[in-house]
Amino acid sequence: MSELEKATFGGGCFWCVEAVFERMRGVEKVVSGYTGGAIVNPTYEQVCSGLSGHAEVVQVHYNPVVIGFGELLDIFWQAHDPTTLNRQGADVGSQYRSVIFYSNEDQRKIAEESIAALSVLKRFKDPIVTEISPLETLYEAEEHHQDYYRNNSDAPYCRAVIHPKLKKLGMTH
C-alpha cells in the first residue's frame, strides 16, 4: 500500500467539508481541526469567536495512487463557494474562510495553477478569494466534531445544510 499524503482545506464549517471528503474514493481518513491562527490548542469556542485567527479545516489523508491532490482540489471547489470572503452561507467570520493550507511546494504550485485555470475559464461569477498558506500546526477539533455528519446525520443542521450539499455533488447520504 502507498504511503498516505495529507491535504488541508478550509471551506466553511468543517462538518460540511468533512462529509464531502469522507465519501471520496482514495480518502482513508478525514480529521476536523483548526489552523492558521495564533492561539495554541484553541477550543471550538475560541475559534468560533473569530478572534483566534484560526480557520475550521479538514485534513484529508489520502492514497495518492488512487486520488491526486488536483482531484481533491476539484472536489474542494465544488464543495464550497471560493468567492466569498470569510463566509460560507449563513456562517460568517474569518474562521469560515476559503483556504488551502499546503504541506509542500507541489501542493502550493498545484493550488495556484488550479485557481489561475478556474479564473481564466471564469468558472465562478466572482473572483476566487481562496487563501493559499503553508500548513504550520493542525490542532484537532474536539472529539464530538470528528465524523460529525456520520454520527449526527439526522440533526437539523445536517438535514438542512449537509444533505443538500451531498445531493448536489451526487453523493448519497
* Helices 105-120 + 69-79 axis angle, to 10: 50
CA-to-CA distance for 27 and 50, rounded, in angstroms?
30
**What are the grid coordinates assigned to 8, written together?**
488541508
Separation of alpha carbons 153 and 3, rounded Å: 31
Q: Is residue 48 among the annotated active site residues?
A: no
Q: Indicate which residue of 13, 16, 48, 158 is catalytic.
A: 13
Output helix, strand, coil percentages for the chain, rounded to the nearest 5: 35, 25, 40
Q: Which residues are catalytic?
A: 13
